Every structure is written in C-alpha cells, then in structure tokens.
Chains A and B, each alone.
Chain A
Amino acid sequence: MSSFLRPAAWLLIAAAIVAPIAMGMNTYYLHVLNLAWIFAIAALGLSVATGVAGQIVLGQAALVGIGAYATALLMMRLSLPWWLALLLAMVLTGAVGAALGLISTRIKGHYLAIVTLALNEIFRIVAVNEEALTGGPMGLRNIPTLSIPGLSETITQQLYLPLAGLMFVSYALMIVFHRSALGRELRAVRDDEMAAEAMGVNSVRAKTIAFMICSLWGALSGGLYVLLVGFVAPTNFTIAESIKMMLMVVLGGLGSIPGTMLGAIVVTILPEALRDLQTYYMAAFGAAVVIIMLVWPKGLGVFSDWLWGSFLTGRREPELSAPAGPLSLAAAAAAASSALAAGPALPETGGPLMRVHKVSRTFGGVRALNDVSFDVIRGEILGLIGPNGSGKSTMINACSGVVHVDGSIELEGHPLQNHPAWEVHAYGVARIFQNVRLWESMTVLENVMVAWRRVPGQPSGEAAIREASLAALEQMGVRHLAMRQAGDLSFGQSRLVEMARAIVGRPKVLLLDEPAAGLRGGLVLELSTILQRLRAQGMTILVVEHRIKLVTSMCDRVVVLNLGDLIADGAPAAVMESPAVIEAYLGERADAASHETRARRIRRRSVNHAVAPG
C-alpha cells in the first residue's frame, strides 16, 4: 500500500507542477509560482543554517540581497554573462557567509539573532544610501534578464520549468547533504555543541560551512530573482522579508528540509490565493508560528518528510529483534568474555601513554585542580576516584579538551592541553559524559557515525563508517536500537549508545565519567567484562567511578583526588588502605580506628552514595 502511495503522490505533484504551464495558465499565476520556487531556494539556505545547524539567522533577506545586487552589478557594470555573474555573486556572498560563520563561533543564541537582524538593517541603510553603487532607493533597473528562446514567449513562462527544476535539484542536493557525514556533524552541533566537539566535530568548520550554505542558496535565489524580474531595490530585502523566510522554515518544521519547501510554497501562494483576507494574514501567520513552535514542531514537515521517504533517511537497517534482556549487556558481556578467552593476547603493557603534568584549574576562585600529575600507562585501566567535588570530572574535561587548564597533558608526546576538543579527539581520546549527552534528534546509528575517526590502515568511506558504527553498537549490545531516535532511549540504553559512540573511533584513550551510573546493579559487573574486552582491543581506559567494589574489580591502578589535590596513586587495594584516602572519604583523623574497619566503611559508604542519587 505504502509503496504505491508515495509514487502516486509524486506523480500528482509532478502533474501539479507541469499543469500550469501545460494548460497555458497566464503569467500572473506563473509569476507567483516562480516567486515560490525562488523563495523556496532562499528558505532552503535558512533551513540548513537554522533548522539543521541550529544557528539562528534573522537576516537572510540581506544575504539574498547581496546576491541579487552582486549579480545585477556584475552584469551591468562588467557586462559579464549571466551565469558567470551569478556564480561570482554566489562566491562573494559565500565569503560573507563564511565571515558570519566565524562570528557565530563567538556569538551564539540570542546574540546571533540580534546581530543578524542588525546586519539586515545595516544592509538596507547602505543599499539606500550608497547610490553610486546600488542605485539608491529607486534600485537598479533594466538589468538584463535571462531569456531562453524557444521555450515560450515571456520570461515568466520560459523560466517556469527551469526554476521549478532547479528548486527540486537544490532540495535533493541538500537532502543528500543532510544525511552525509557533514550533515550529521551540523546536526550534532545543533543538538549538543559540547558533546559534538568532544566527539571530534570541528564546530568552527561546521558552523562556517552552515553559514556558507545558507548564503550560497540565498545568493542563488537573489540572482535568479534578478534574472527573472530585471529589477532590484532595497525594499525587496527588509527585515520583514527575513522574517517571512523564517516563517517558511518554521511552518515546514525546524530541521525538516522537505518541509521548508512546502512552507515556502504555502507562505508565497496562500496570500495570493486569499488576497481578500490579507488584512488578517500576518496576524494569522504570527499566531501560527507560536502554535507550531509549541504544539506541532514538525509543522508541514510531517507530510513532506514522508514524501521523500528513504531518500531522506538513507538506507534503513533491518530491525533486529531485541535480545532477551532489557539491556543486552549480558549478551554482549558473554560475547566479550568468549572473545577474551579466544582472542589475541593482551597488547604489550609498558610505558606511559598519557602524561598529566602539574595540571591546575580555577573556577571563580575555587581551585578545582591543583598541580595534579600522574601517568596513564599504555594498556591499563586506571581508576580515578575521590569524594564529590574533588575535581574528577574537571580532570576528564581537561583531558578531553573541554576545559582549559594550566600545566601539560601529553598523549604519546603530543601536547593536548588547551587544544580544541575535536583535535584532542583526533589524536585518539574519546569520552562519555557523566550525564549522558547524546544528540537526541538523530538516530542511534547516526550518533555513533558522527564520532567515527579515521585510523590509518582502516577502511574509510560512508559504507565503512556505517559498518564500524554498527559493529560498535553490536559490541555494546544495542545494535537493535540502531534506527531508533536517540531521544527516545532510556537512560541505561543511552549510556550504552554513548559507550558505542566513544569506542567507534578506536581511541587510544577512553575517558569514562561514571559509566555505571544508571545501569541496573546486576549489569554493573558485566560492564567490567566489557572494559576488559576494550582493553584487549588496545584501548587504554581512564575511568571515574564511585563504587569502590567496581573500581577494585576492574582497575589495574587507582589515582585519588581530594579537593583538587592528588592524594594517592597505586594499586587499588593499597590505595584503599592509605590514611590520606580514608581521611578524605570519612573526614576523620586516621588514627581513631584501624585501617581495616575504615576501609570497609569506605566501601559501604561509597556504594550507598552511588545508589542514593539514582
């Protein structure tokens, strides 16, 4: 049924698009439709920047305007052919977009909204006043228009099908982009920028690309407008026009590219179709935006996403039935232990892989880390423990490049401290977060694919990335969730997906911030088996954990932090007996009772502590 409906719907759409020209509809209708195609292209850029990459742009009309003026001026002043003028205008506007992208790495959220709005107004003022260049308030007229003889008699008719075709091609391109590696990165930045950076996404590059795409489509749309109408004036590119384009994106559902197309068509055509009701139009649109944002965030995207079907989402993984347990960790653990028994010998343990040297960090007068130094030995599982507020998470953040510190952190001799998080990830450091940070609007598989990292000697390319990601999910026992949306998962499932995301790039060092939190008690020990397996695959693991039982069972060595100071470093059993550690945990003088009882109390207490918040 479904397989028949979608082609039928497409046929209907194709007929609806060709009908006006085939039936010889007059140029009024054709012009309105032409505007719809052109606005759809402008809104497409906005859809990528705002919908896909989450960067709010309230000045898209200015980018369209730059494209339009540049195309017109290049044709009029330099007598360039239309295609060259259009191309150069796109390059120029793209450069403006790149600059905006760089600004957006410093200016976020509300600031970006107001800055883009301000730039639109500045553009209008300049266009009105710099008469020598822009033709001033009366605009530029008698711009050569594009005519394709042989198609029909008027420009409106001639350009109708090419514009409609171009619009569909642009959308198809962006839909492919949306599911490409770069598209995934943009969406990761939108959903959680910090997690994206920590998992290897260069957010500066991603945002710059998003803004460039935004301005390229804007410029194309502006240029096409000029080629169609032959006239351009500052009143075409006011803030109201920018808001209208934002309306198209919102109406189509933020984040849905096909939805934007439908949004653009509705916003352009509806006011013309219902001209008599125009007094109420903007009020109705304003209210619609609020309602859509609050109640129906998918907007028209619901329909158009269905229309594009698997072209939108890419090949779907056949759904596997879930393994017996609620979490299939048991199965994964079993697989891991059998692999351990049969697998290759442990890699050579030996010299230090990561060296933390005199690392300090202060937050508003509080010293979170104070001259901390320790080594992480290649192939070990190192536990990082300490009471609350001892600086454990800050240490993990420092090692993954999320937090800047004084001192040095080296991986195989490369300095890592104060490098952007994505560079740290590229060196081979991956992490999970204490409070699970998945990119919730993306599928589980996409979550993992984003974090894939090129390793010399391993195959690359989309298919290989997909295979590696599925394998990582398999290893964590959550392959059956691959096509689920990450936001729908339970906490425990999310934790395992996050683990899969961390290991997919075969990191040299894996930083785990309380991996057992949120897992059911019975599964906690199986986690230890999995860590053994990962170690067997060549990963070195630094794990923050509260549960002393777990720490002693899975760690080769333990370092203890207290109030930012390193207070112990050694084998788990020995560290537990250390007076300084006991004092740190119990806050008592060490000589009051025997070490033995104290150590027992620590174990009990830390277990209680770990269980309580859950």
Chain B
Amino acid sequence: MLGQVIASGLAMGCIYALVALGYAYVWNTMAIVNFAAGEFLTFAAYIFVATFTMSLGLPFWSSLLLTAAAMAALGALFSRLVFARLQRQRALVAIIATVGFGIFLKEMARIIYGPEPLLYVSPFGDDMLDFGGFRLSVQQLLIMVVVVVVMAAQYFVLRYSMIGKIMRATALDRETAALMGIPVNAVLAGTFAFSAVLAALAGILLAPLFYVTTEMGSLVGLKGFVAMIIGGFGSVPGAIVGGVLLGVIENVGAFAISSTYKDAIAFTMLLVFLVVRPEGLIPERSADRA
C-alpha cells in the first residue's frame, strides 16, 4: 500500500508543482508573490465546469481551451490593473493586496455559482490502471502526463524561442529590456496570463478528483507556495522538485506518522527548510530580492 500512497502523493505533488511554477514565473519577472493563485485555480474550475461544460454543454477540449483563454484574459487584466501598480511597493503591500483579491475572487465564485459543490465526471472516466501491485486512476495518470508535458514545453520555449529570451531579458533588467525595444508591460501581462493558465490547468485537472467548491483552491495555493520555497524561491526546476517532494512527503507522513497532523507535517517541513536550507533545494541565483 505504500506504493499507492506514494503514487497519490505524486499526483498531488504534480498539482503543487503546476501552481508553484506559476509562482516562480511571476516572481522572476515581477518579484511579487500572487497570494490569490489558489483562488485563480478555484475560479478556473468553476468556469470550466459550471459555465463551459454544464451551462453551454461544450465538449472537453473546447471547454479547456476557452477556460485557458478566459483565465489568461483575467490574469492579464489583473496584472495590468493591480499587479503592475504593486511593483514599487513593499512586499507587505503586495501580499495583503493579493490576499484581498483572492477573497474577492472566491466570494465572486460563490455569488455567481452558488454554494453547492459541483460534480464533474472526467471524460476519461475514473477507471483504475493496474501497474503490477499499485493502482493509478486515469485522472492521476493524466495529471502526471500533463505536468510533464507542460514542464518540457516551458523548458524548450524558454530555452530556445524568442519569447523565452524576451522573458529572461525582462526578468534580468527591466529598464534595459525596455530600452532594447521589448514591450515590457506586455511581457509582464503575458507572464501573469501564463501563470493564470497554469492555475487553470491545475483547476481543470483537479475538478474530477475534488468536487468544485469555493474552498478547493485555497490550500492548494498555499501548498504550491510552500513547494516553491522548498524548491528554491523563483527557481523553475526547484518549483517542480519542491512540488512533487511536498506531495509525496505529506502523504507518506500522513501514512507513517499521523493523518490528523497531515497539514502540520507539510508546514513543519516548510519551517525546517526555512531554518536549515532557506535558499531551497535548487536555489535561483537571484533569490528573494524582497
């Protein structure tokens, strides 16, 4: 059964990694942490399930694309309206403002979609695949595949395309990038939109596993942030490793130590890392500039 526990932890860890990746991108280009990321996830799940799938009756793929587009638009809008103004502020101001926006988003989801949890059945079914001993649901496998694909895609785009170069240039020195003709504001909005799409993906992947509720994203958002700290603040490979590690360790911890204190285990792990290895597992060179 331990294999089972690890496999489930791995799937959750992949979700944390997606969210953590969103944090890392935004941190790298804007040096702000978006504490509303979990609520972006919640909101995306609602749009996907309630609006596109249930109300409009669209098939899975078009719902997915439309949700991604809607969240990208919301992300870009939020970035221009709110985030851009937080640039020169102290970290404190940005934290409180994004927490406030998260509450707003969560409450809006409740006002628009009502208090009932929404059930979403994955089009891929909830069959179990037997891998000689332990079982993995199709959905869990899908999560892992999607996360691996996203990780690979973002790596190659960032490494080899012009978009990647532009983003890295903006991250390194915004003023110089602007002087070189890079549309800095568009890049920042684009980065934020990308992180919103990552949250949307996480929400869509989680919808069949969880029920869609207004609370579904809050804890995932926090754990994603913990994952980024463990992996290394702003470090892209760190976010992935940290996410997966957190997912596995908290599940194994709940199994081996205490299920009652499962969340406490995740947060204690955070404290240990902050004291013993504050720069994270795979530190980004320009770590916390706050």
Contact = CB atoms under 8 A, between A and B. Distances in A.
Interface string A287-329: 1111001100100000000000000000000000000000000
B288 A109 contact: yes
A282 B264 contact: no
Interface string B98-132: 01111111111001000000000000000000000
B99 A109 contact: no
A58 B92 contact: no
B238 to A, nearest CB: 15
A279 B111 contact: yes
Contacts of B261: 125, 129
Contacts of B104: 283, 286-287, 290
A396 interface: no
Nearest to A287: B104
Contact of A290 (B100, B107, B222): B100
B263 A58 contact: no
Interface string A96-126: 0000000000111111011101110110010
Contacts of A297: 93
Interface in A242-295: 243, 246-247, 250, 254, 279-280, 282-283, 285-290, 293-294
Contact of B278 (A106, A282, A290): A106
Contact of A115 (B96, B101, B271): B271
Query: Which of A119, A121, A289: most chain B CB closer than 10 A?
Result: A289
Contact of A54 (B92, B103, B105, B278): B92
Nearest to B229: A111
A286 B101 contact: yes
A573 to B, nearest CB: 40
Contacts of A111: 229, 274, 278, 288
B102 A110 contact: no
Nearest to A50: B92
A381 interface: no
Given A121-B263, A280-B111, A290 B92 contact: no
B225 interface: yes
Interface string A116-144: 01110110010001000000000000000
Contacts of B35: 113
B192 to A, nearest CB: 15
Contact of A283 (B82, B91, B92, B108): B108
Contact of A289 (B90, B99, B233, B278): B99
Contact of A294 (B33, B82, B264): B82
B97 interface: yes
B50 interface: no
A500 interface: no
Interface string A426-446: 000000000000000000000
B276 to A, nearest CB: 11
A125 B96 contact: no
A243 B103 contact: yes
A122 B290 contact: no
Nearest to A289: B100
Contacts of B55: none
A56 interface: yes
Given A115-B270, A125-B261, A106 B92 contact: no
28 contacts: A56-B95, A56-B96, A106-B278, A107-B274, A110-B233, A111-B288, A114-B226, A114-B229, A115-B267, A117-B222, A118-B226, A122-B264, A125-B263, A129-B260, A246-B96, A247-B100, A254-B92, A279-B111, A280-B107, A280-B111, A282-B107, A283-B107, A286-B100, A286-B105, A293-B86, A293-B93, A293-B100, A294-B97
The 4 closest A-B pairs by CB, nearest first: A289-B100, A286-B104, A286-B103, A283-B107
